[in-house]
Amino acid sequence: MSASAAGSAVVAFNSAGISYQSHRKIAHFRQLTSPIKLPRSLNSQCRSLNSSSSGIKAQVATIEQANTDAAPKVEAPVVVVTGASRGIGKAIALSMGKAGCKVLVNYARSSKEAEEVCKEIEAYGGQALTFGGDVSKEADVEAMIKTAVDAWGTLDVLINNAGITRDGLLMRMKTSQWQEVIDLNLTGVFLCTQAAAKIMMKKKKGRIINIASVVGLTGNVGQANYSAAKAGVIGFTKTVAKEYSSRNINVNAVAPGFIASDMTSKLGADIEKKILEIVPLGRYGQPEEVAGLVEFLALNPAAGYITGQVLTIDGGMVIYVFGNGAVAILGILILAEITTLCQNTWSLARYRKVDSKKAAKVYEFLSPIFYAYYTMVRGILGPLFAYKIGVFFASGMAGDLIPLWAWISWMVVIVSSIGVSILWIMHLWLALYRERIKKEVKKIS
């Protein structure tokens, strides 16, 4: 239709004997020149130009009206946001509402706050409705999805944001604390995704965004339940993305770091300072910043080729997953290698008989100490470093930075070296023990 319309416009201009450029020049001439008297021949030519121009404008207006009438009406996307009454969920719901979406605002207990979010969305010109329900319960999830479909006929985007915390050290954590977090933060994501995917699969189109956390990548003291749930969400996201990719359903996870909230506002200055020390940008993130990333993944056509990814929005915090502790451990391991090099150098010098008696005595004295230190460092810190590397690779952030075979072969060398070191220490101490026995036997005899 657009091609034929453009062709008609070109024909109209050509039939009038006027090019597009010449028409623009005539209009510009009219604006700049003052009225002057023209010969009759020129006046008649100008009248013919004016009549031609009017005819062209009429044809263009007709074509534009035809294009407007023929253009398909695009329905506003239908979005379900869980845990949308406050915090990050509220910011996401408002962002979707501003973008012209029809938003279902899910809440568990904060009904007044959810109603306020709906009013704000409607004030922006969008449509919204609330639904109170526990996403860890299958019946509530099915009712929530049905409510959205009954109201608007379909479901285009699901944003799994609902979550809770029940922090505590593992040794003191109750089973109920563990289960509550797993049920809502992980099982809830499973139930909502399963219910929404049924609709998206039929239309072969949809986007699902799961709100995870950087602690699902790095872990955090006192949050074994929360970290486990968010790590589960990350693994779940990657798997579902693979399963539904053939149905044109994009599934991604967003992992926020420290985001400003009611909880962070109550922290003391000292605690806040310690938290921000591990954030390179040196500040908390804002819920609106997370909402902007989610909106991009949910609505932007440029995100159509993104699926199965975990996007961190943490001010650079996860840069330190392979930093700080891992670098310190690596430094100590390098020191252990240097001591081993020194020991081996003395060893070669001794066997070649080019060292003095003093050097030989130093070697005999330091060999057990060197190897004891060497074994202790590799035996304790080696596995810790291996764990750090393991987390680094498991998080999916390593990419091609460090080949997998490189660190596996390095670990094989470490294990072998530890074994050799232990045997060498046993040999040296056994030799010393024999010397003592010989001396005692000589004394007795």
Residues annotated as catalytic (active site), given as ranges: 226
Is 50 labelled as part of a ligand binding site? no
The verdict on whether residue 226 carries a ligand-binding annotation is yes
Q: Is 334 annotated as a binding residue?
A: no
Q: What is the distance between the alpha carbons of residues 104 and 134, in angstroms, rounded to a whole number? A: 14
Most distant pair of Cα atoms in the chain: their distance = 147
Task: Consult the annotation and say whether 229 binds a ligand.
Answer: yes
Q: Which pair of structure tokens corresponds to residue 327? A: 């670098």
Q: Around Cβ 271, how many Cβ atoms within 10 Å?
A: 11
227 labelled ligand-binding: yes
Which two tokens mark 442? 């000589």
Any known ligand binding at 162?
Answer: no
Q: Is 259 annotated as a binding-site member?
A: yes
**Is 52 a known ligand-binding residue?**
no
The reply, when asked if residue 323 is annotated as ligand binding, is no
Please answer whether residues 74 and 118 qualify as being in contact, where contact means their C-beta atoms are separated by less than 8 angstroms: no
**Where does 124-211 have alpha helices with state H?**
138-152, 175-182, 188-203
Separation CA 63–CA 161 (nearest Å): 47
> Nearest-CA neighbor of 322 among 213, 399, 411?
399
Pair 76, 98: CB distance under 8 Å: no
The answer to whether 230 is a known ligand-binding residue is yes
Residues pairing with 209 in the sheet: 159, 252
The C-alpha atoms of residue 163 and residue 311 are separated, in whole angstroms, by 18
| Dihedral angle, C-alpha 230, 312, 85, 287, nearest 10 ° | 150
Q: Which residue positions form the known binding site?
A: 83-86, 161, 226-230, 259
Q: Which residue positions form the known binding site for NADP(+)?
A: 83-86, 161, 226-230, 259
